Amino acid sequence: MTEQAAAIKVRGLHRRFQLGDQTVHALNNINLDIAQGEYISVMGPSGSGKSTLLNALGLLDIPDEGEYWLAGQNTVPMSEEERAGYRRDHIGFVFQSYHLVPRLSARENMELPMVLAGIPPAERRKRLAPIISRLGLDERADHKPEQLSGGQRQRVAIGRAIIMQAPLLLADEPTGNLDTHSGADVVDLLEELNAQGMTLIVVTHDMALGQRARRRIRMVDGAIVSDDRSVVNVDATSENNIDKTTDIQPDTIPSQEPRS
Ligand code: ADP
Ligand code: MG
C-alpha cells in the first residue's frame, strides 16, 4: 500500500464561507493521502465539513487555499472545462437525495454521463445492459424516479456514478434516506465495487456503517481529528484485537489541533 502512488494527495486545503460578517472555516488545513482501492468512511458532527470535503474531492467545489492532486494531476489550477472533464473520467458521486433527473427513466439517468461524453448509442446500450442487471433493475429500467423506491433510486444513482468506470466513488450519506434493509443493499453494492478496485469514500452518520470501512476519518470543525486504520473486529479467539495503526506513515498524520 505504501509503495503505491497516492491516488489522492491533499495538502493544506482550506475552504471558507462568508455568512454575513462571519467567516465559517468549513475546511481547515486538510492533509490526506489516499491510495487507489482504499475504503474510507468520514464521520463527524453535523456542520463539521464532511460534505465540503467530499465536494472538494469530487471537484464540485474549489478550495480557497491548498493543493489537491488527483491521479497525479494538480486539480486546483484547472479551468472549469478541464475540471468537468476530469470529474467525468475520474469521479462518481452518490448523494443522499439521489439527484436523479425526474423526467428521465432509470436507464436514461444512468446513460446521461455517456451522452455527455459523446459515446454513441450502440456502445451506450452495450455498457448499460450488464450494469442494469447487476443493480437488479431489469424490471425497473424504464420507470421514472418517482415510480421507484428509495433503494431503487439510489441504485440508479450508483449506476450513473459507475457507468464511466471512474476509479473514485464518493458517497455523501448514501443511506441517509433509506430504511435499514435498502440501506444494507446499497452498502453491499458499494463495498462490492470497492472490492473490485474502486476507491470508496463514504460520509455517514451511521456508526455501524462507518465502522465497516478499513480506514475511518473523523472531522470536527473543518479539521481531521483522527485517521484510524486499526482493526475494529473483535476476534474472541485470539489476541488480534490490538491497535494496528502502525501502517500510518508519520507524514500522513495531520496535526490539526486548533491553535490556541
Ligand atoms: P457536514 O456535511 O459535516 O454536515 P458541511 O460540509 O455541509 O458539514 O458544512 C460545514 C460548514 O460550512 C457548516 O458550518 C456549513 O454551514 C458551512 N457551509 C457549507 N456549505 C456552505 C455554503 N455553500 N455557504 C455557506 N456556508 C456553507
Ligand atoms: Mg453533509
The one-digit pLDDT tens for each residue of the chain (260 residues) are: 333 456 999 999 999 999 999 999 999 999 999 999 999 999 999 999 999 999 999 999 999 999 999 999 999 999 999 999 999 989 999 999 999 999 999 999 999 999 999 999 999 999 999 999 999 999 999 999 999 999 999 999 999 999 999 999 999 999 999 999 999 999 999 999 999 999 999 999 999 999 999 999 999 999 999 999 987 654 444 444 444 443 444 444 444 444 43
Atom of ligand 1 nearest to the CA of 49: 6
Query: For ligand 1, what atom is nearest to the CA of residue 203?
Result: 2
Residue 212 and residue 244: Cα distance in Å, rounded?
16
> Which residue owns the Cα nearest ligand 1 atom 21?
17
Residue whose CA is at the smallest distance from ligand 1 atom 17:
26
User: Do 186 and 152 touch, CB atoms closer than 8 A?
Assistant: no
* Centroid of ligand 2 to alpha carbon of 195 (angstroms): 25
Q: Is 68 helix (H, G, I), strand (E, B) or coil?
A: strand
Note the pLDDT of residue 184.
Answer: 93
> Domain limits of the chain?
6-231
pLDDT computed for residue 5 by the predictor: 55
Which ligand 1 atom lies nearest to the CA of residue 44? 3
Q: Which residues pair with 162 in a beta bridge?
A: none
**Angle, CA 120 vertex, CA 118 and CA 124 arms, to 5°:** 100
Contacts of 138 (CB under 8 A, 6+ apart): 132
* Matching residue, cell 489537491: 68
Predicted confidence at residue 260, as pLDDT, reads 39
Which of ligand 1's atoms lies nearest the C-alpha of 52? 6
In angstroms, what CA-CA distances link 233 with 48, 146, 229, 242, 244? 27, 39, 12, 10, 12
Distance 29 CA to ligand 2 centre (A): 18
- Please, which residues have CB within 8 angstroms of residue 41's CB and are 6 or more apart in sequence? 201, 202, 203, 204, 209, 210, 211, 212, 213, 215, 216, 217
What does the pLDDT read at residue 230?
Answer: 84
CATH class of 6-231: alpha beta
For residue 18, the ligand 1 atom closest to its alpha carbon is 25
pLDDT at 99: 96
- Nearest Cα residue to 197 out of 167, 171, 162: 167
Q: How far is CA 23 from CA 4, 18, 29, 195, 224, in A?
A: 38, 5, 15, 40, 19
Q: What is the pLDDT of residue 243?
A: 43
Identify whether the C-beta of residue 67 lies closer than 8 Å to the C-beta of residue 9.
Answer: yes
Ligand nearest to the CA of 43: 1
Choice from 23, 52, 172, 201 to test ligand 1 binding pocket (greatest atom count within 8 A of CB): 52
The amino acid sitting at 59 is L
CA of 216 relative to ligand 1 center, distance in Å = 21
Ligand 1 site residues, Cβ closer than 6 angstroms:
17, 19, 24, 26, 44, 46-52
How many CB atoms are located within 10 Å of the residue 232 CB? 13
User: What local confidence, expressed as pLDDT, does residue 231 receive?
Assistant: 78
